[in-house]
Homo-oligomer: A and B are copies of this chain.
Amino acid sequence: MPGQPTHVDWSLVSERTLVSQLQSREDGTVSVSGWVETVRDQKKVQFVILRDETGAVQLVNPATRPDPDGAEQDAAALALTALISELSTGTFLTVTGELKHDERVKLGGVEIKIATLEIAAAALPETPIAADSGLDKRMDWRFIDLRQRRNNLVFRIQTTLEHAMRTYWVERDYVEIHSPKLMSTPAEGNAELFALEYFGDQTAYLAQSPQHFKQMAQAAGFGKVFEIGDVFRADPSFTSRHATEFTSIDAEISWIDSYEDVAAMQEELLAAAFQAVKDKHGDEIAELFDIDVVVPTLPFPRIPLAEAREIVKARGYDIPRTDGDLDPEGERQISAHVRETYGHQFVFITDYHPEIRPFYHMRNPETGLTNSYDLLFQGTEITTGAQREHRIEVLEAQALEKGLSLEGLEHYLDFFRYGIPPHGGFGMGLARVLMLMLGQDSIREVTFLFRGPTRLAP
């Protein structure tokens, strides 16, 4: 009947208690919902460990087994016992029962005596993976793998980390942008690009980074921008640090004097984010990952690349790369040096040669080196940052020098023809930060659903 459209049936709203709330609840009737982690089906008593997104609790049921002599028995009690005996791991259910605080119960000091048990969705009896299954197998069944406490914690840490970074930026009047991932021209050259047919006669490319567009925001006078979003690399490599799709954390700021303004922002940002993670999850990270999250001190150490190579060489490692860059072992060596010398997990490596940098990095006229840096965290690169070249004639010359076609860069170069401030920024891989923070071997462990050359599902 018209006339009552604002009616809400509040009786439909759940009265579920989260497992984390049980300890502070008084003894009495509660209702909990989660999934079956284990069942101990003993002759006289049954125990179920139920886990939800906040923790695990022990459910108990005094078993009522069919009387071998056929004596009359409570049908409901028999049915409940049989139901529990048949529960498979992973089954999602709701239990109502009597909460009792009991310090003898190791798991949280509480227990629930089951009164009613309602199955929401029963799991097939054979779980296809276990906690110790191989990584590839676990990724096939990622939604089961993610039920592990450690894996669940990863994404709560991710949530805290990102929110702390966005809060840092929002409090400083940065503008959040969502740049398009479909582009008419490649952003950073032609390598590692996914191409697709776009309405018949056009070719679109998937963005490898928001580089073009965060620079466009500078020409637009946005001042300071950030974006946390997906980028795509048709990168056939199978290392533990590479993915074909990943979440990139990007910022770009106007009116900088050098890349130092960018580096100073990034180190503050990371310190704030690590502090938030330590405050909220430090104890759990220590328990589940055996890691003490270290909030980095400011400023982070800075070492010019040429000097870093000398230090690495003096440590006995001769970098085979001939282009002047560090290789992964060189990154580990210089990070070990920084850890030993300055007690720091981070280091900015600065002053890269233009040959190993994109055309749009600004160069220092005195040294001929770029105004750019890489940020290493615990031995692995997580970021490239730079002051950008904003002078159109210099930018064009640098593009030509790299063998790029100016026609292919037409839209990008337009951004510099109608006025643009000096600017710079960085891009940082979210999964790399999480991997290194949690001492993991692979970004696959800290990615919700990894995508690689042979991994497009589930």
Question: A interface vs B, CB < 8 Å?
Answer: 1-2, 5-9, 12-14, 16, 33-36, 51-54, 88, 90-92, 94, 120-124, 127-128, 141-144, 146-147, 152, 155-156, 158-160, 162-163, 166-167, 170, 173-185, 194-199, 202, 204, 206, 213, 216-217, 219-224, 229-230, 232, 234, 236, 244-245, 247, 254-258, 260-261, 264, 299-303, 307, 310-311, 338, 342, 347, 390-392, 411-412, 414-422, 430, 448-449, 451, 453-454, 456-458
> Is the beta-carbon distance between B419 and A6 smaller than 8 angstroms?
no
Does B196 contact A419, Cβ atoms closer than 8 Å?
A: no
| B-chain residues with CB within 8 Å of residue A166 when the two chains form the complex | 163, 166
Contact A52–B146 (Cβ < 8 Å): no
Q: How near does chain B come to A254, taking the closest CB pair, in angstroms? A: 8
Q: Which residue of B lies closest to A420 (CB)?
A: B121
Q: State the Cβ distance, A390 to closest chain B Cβ, in Å.
A: 5
Task: Check if A202 sits within 8 Å of B419, measured CB to CB.
Answer: no
Min C-beta distance of A164 to chain B, whole Å: 10
Copies in the complex: 2
Shortest distance in angstroms between A433's beta carbon and chain B's nearest beta carbon?
A: 13
Whether A199 touches B411, Cβ cut-off 8 Å, given contacts A310-B2, A342-B6, is no
Given the known inter-chain contacts A90-B418, A216-B458, please indicate yes or no for A302 contacting B411, CB distance below 8 A. Answer: no
* A14, B91: Cβ atoms closer than 8 Å: no
A182 touches B8 (CB 8 A): no
Query: Which chain B positions have C-beta within 8 A of A202?
Result: 456
Q: How far is the CA of A418 from the CA of B128 in the complex (A)?
A: 9
CA distance A117 to B5 in the complex (A): 63
Question: Do residues A307 and B213 form an inter-chain contact, with CB atoms below 8 A?
Answer: no
Q: Are B264 and A2 in contact (CB under 8 A)?
A: no
CB pair A124 B457 closer than 8 Å: no
Bound-state Cα–Cα, A116 to B412, Å: 31
Residue in B closest to A458 when the chains form the complex, CB atoms: B411
Q: Is the CB of B221 within 8 A of A33?
A: no
Q: Is the CB of A418 within 8 A of B124?
A: yes
Residues of B within 8 A of A219 (CB): 143-144
Give chain B nearest CB distance to A201 CB in angstroms: 10
Q: Are B91 and A419 closer than 8 Å at their CB atoms? A: yes
| A338 nearest in chain B by CB position | B5
Q: Give 26 A-B contacts (CB < 8 Å), ordered by A residue.
A: A1-B307, A2-B307, A2-B311, A5-B301, A12-B257, A13-B257, A13-B264, A14-B261, A33-B254, A53-B175, A121-B392, A123-B417, A143-B418, A146-B220, A152-B220, A152-B221, A159-B174, A160-B170, A179-B448, A182-B451, A185-B457, A196-B206, A198-B244, A199-B234, A411-B458, A414-B458
A156 vs chain B, min Cβ distance (A): 6
State whether A14 touches B221 (Cβ < 8 A): no
B5 contacts A92, C-beta separation under 8 Å: no
Distance of A422 Cα from B180 Cα, bound (Å): 34
Inter-chain contacts of A342 with B (CB < 8 A): 5-6
Bound: A415/B121 CA distance, A: 11
A243 shortest CB reach to chain B, Å: 9
Q: A338 to nearest B CB, angstroms?
A: 8
